[in-house]
Amino acid sequence: MNLVLFGPPGAGKGTQSDNITKDYNLFKVSTGDLLRDEIKKKTNLGNKIKILIDSGKFVSDEIINDLIKKIISNPKNHDRMIFDGYPRNLNQAKTFDILLNSYNLKIDSVLNLEVDKDILIKRITGRSVCSKCKKIFNDFFNPPNNNHSCLPRFLVRRPDDKAHILENRLKTYFDDTFPVLNYYKKKNILHNISASSDIGSIYKEIKDLLVSLNH
């Protein structure tokens, strides 16, 4: 089974893809993780990627496609992959199909997490992470009160979680990624998931869908 998981920033793609990966023994392919790893290495490419991400823009198709090709070409990953937020635009989707076909692979299902914009904004702008214990908090939904034993100074926010950057990210997402959803809809493999509720309810809907698709 090969899956693609879509959704705007703050939809919970990372959390849900982790759940799916664990329960279905899949290999998670997150372009965000791949890009952040490159940034941590502080290479010239990583520095360029950081500037783009911090301004709310996406990295070039060429860079992304090369990273994806490395994953697809590994036989250990065949028919057990979940792509978190890739492809991001129509050109990537078409190149993705070509790459998959070259290894006799295909995408079985595309899951699209749908969330109201107001909820997205609160999820993103209210988010903080403890650099010590790695727990994730949110000022609106899960504030770091009695459930956080580390000192407040360890709480940090990602630089791209600011409101004006989020607006750019959302605009870029809907401008570039929405056509990809139509692309997969025409292939009859697109499935919309309501992702405005709690994590458990969202994941139950995903599991129910995957069970029905595999019967």
| CATH at 13 | 3.40.50.300
Q: Cα–Cα–Cα angle for 193, 83, 52, nearest 5°? A: 100
Torsion of CA 183, 186, 187, 188, to 10 degrees: 120
The b/e string for 60-74 (b: 16+ C-beta within 10 A; e otherwise) is eeebbbebbeebbee
Cα gap 77→70, rounded to integer Å: 10
What are the per-10-residue average pLDDT scores of the chain (215 residues)? 92 90 94 85 87 83 86 95 91 95 96 90 90 91 88 88 82 87 96 90 94 82
Task: Please state the pTM of the whole predicted model.
Answer: 0.79
Range of the domain at 31: 3-213
Evaluated on CA atoms 203, 209, 214, 215, the torsion sign reads positive
pLDDT at res. 215: 67
Q: Give the per-residue pLDDT at 56.
A: 78
Total of domains in the chain: 1
Helix or strand or coil: residue 88?
coil
